[in-house]
Amino acid sequence: MSALPKSAIIAVVGAGTMGAGIAQVAAAAGHRVLLFDARADAAARAVEGIGAALGKLMERGKMTAAEKDALVARISPCARLEEFASAALTVEAVVEDLEAKRRLFTQLESIVGADAILATNTSSLSVTAIGAPLKRPERLVGMHFFNPVPLMALVEVVSGLATGAAVAQAVFDTAAAWGKSPVHAKSTPGFIVNRVARPYYGEALRLLSEGAADFATLDALMREAGGFRMGPFELMDLIGHDVNFAVTSSVHAAYFNDPRFTPSLLQQELVAAGRLGRKTGRGFYDYAQGATNPQPWTAPSTPAPREVAVNGPLGPAEGLLDLIRDMKIPLRERGRDNGQGYLTVNRTQICLSDGRSATERAATGHHSNLVVFDLALDYGKATRIALAPADQCNDAGRQSAIGLFQALGMKVSLLDDVPGLPVMRTVCMLANEGADAVNQGVCDAAAVDTAMQKGVNYPRGPLAWADAIGLDIVHQVLRNLFRAYGEDRYRPSPLLRRKVHAGTRFLG
């Protein structure tokens, strides 16, 4: 099979936000679309809503009136499922309930033609389980879109145990023909995105619960150093804590309580209090009119260093040296070929996080004045950085580190000394989860990165990011976190370890 031709009729069951979005995308690709909803007049109202949304695009010059009218005309509200008899592809977007979906597909199977494809937009249920009662489960496939459907590029094409390879490829090719970025995935809990994304929330919640920093500071660091569009607490408030907590709990239970997916007691408390985020007016942030929310903690201005020394290679932080040179700060280079490097300012060692606390590194290295700094997506573009001084470090040592990064154009947020620091440990955990998804045959490495960039707007695919950091460094960070916490949560993926030993990469 290949992509369905434009002459193929697409049917959509469910005229809510997702169903209407899927109908709009299929119609925009030139298909005639049939739209059904069990609620009276819901399908007709959805078509009106699509027309109104397209009208706004027309007002902005994004499409002509003729294009808008033609697209809307291709979508026909249906009163009965029996009108789907001629559909080549039927996509359901109904309530996320296993039995409801099973009943629907059993009914659809008796209506559509023998060669028709059945697709479920489920975000969390097993495609295998949904298709189990069908006479021909091989023609059922997951077609998981992301909200808002017309804007989000990702489609997870999810194969259950019985899904035919040709069926999955036809849906993949069709999604691509609709202008989407499809990826193949095996039906496992969370598929790709909802599984791999768990550490983005989980590590932030853990750092907050350990008192590393307040939520506004952690959000700012993930945006301004990590390059993410939204910080984890902002994003959880947007998603809704009830939804986010339920997804985490579901994935945790589905993986037989794997500690990597352990839900947060902090988030559980928010849900219990009814502070669900934007939709209730209060989550981590207060959304009431006139409410005052905390600002990220920023260190006061500190004098720039007169000189900086670099000792050994800085790995992913080498970009700092260009910034130092650009700022005309004298730079002395010592022994650049050996060991894990660090910067020195006024006898203070300033080191990239390796998963250990600064206090541990100061003790084992017998150097009291030691400060750890965080990873950045691009040090040349980062506007904020996290620093953590060792408990042994004196005030002069802290000020030396702060002054250096301020001189390089970054705001500095001083964190309590926790292992890893926010961006480094989060990126390493995202990469580790992506590696395990590949190792367990859920998808390939390219699919992980496409899914996380196109589905949740990550600034870089986690596996490409791990390659850029250096897989040996990622592995070291995870091992140090594993040792610091004594928890299986931080165990390195077998595939990551294998690639470190082989000296290979995930991509290219």
Residue with tokens 């986010």: 244
Residue 334 exposure: Cα atoms within 13 Å on the Cβ side? 10
Beta bridge partners of 140: 118
DSSP annotation of 81: G
418 touches 212 (CB < 8 A): yes
> Which one of 121, 126, 159, 194 is the catalytic residue?
194
CA distance 25 to 150: 6
Q: Is 353 a catalytic residue?
A: no
The runs of H, that is alpha helices, within 74-225 are 98-109, 127-131, 165-177, 193-196, 198-209, 215-224
User: How far is the CA of 49 from the CAs of 17, 72, 304, 318, 448, in angstroms?
Assistant: 10, 10, 57, 51, 34
117: closest CA among 151, 153, 147, 159?
159
Q: Is 156 a catalytic residue?
A: yes
Query: Which listed residue (123, 126, 250, 357) is catalytic?
Result: 123
> Cα–Cα–Cα angle for 365, 502, 364, nearest 5°?
5
109, 156, 203, 433: which is the annotated catalytic residue? 156
Find the angle CA(58)-CA(63)-CA(66) to the nearest 5 degrees. 90
**Where in 106-180 does DSSP place strands (E)?**
117-120, 140-145, 154-159
What is the rounded CA–CA span in Å between residue 183 and residue 190?
14
Which one is catalytic: 144, 184, 241, 367? 144
What distance in Å separates the CA atoms of residue 276 and residue 239, rounded to the nearest whole number? 9
Is 307 marked active-site?
Answer: no
- Phi, psi angle pair for 331, to nearest 5°: -125, 120
Within 10 A of 32 (CB to CB), how many other CB atoms are there? 18
Buried b (16+ CB within 10 A) or exposed e, 409-440: ebbbbbbebbbbbbbbbbbbbbbbbbbbbbee
Name the 3-class secondary structure at 231.
coil
Is-cis flag, bond preceding 182, omega within 30?
A: no
- Interhelix angle 17-28/65-73, nearest 10 degrees: 110
Is residue 241 part of the annotated active site? The answer reads no
Which residues belong to the active site? Answer: 123, 144, 156, 194
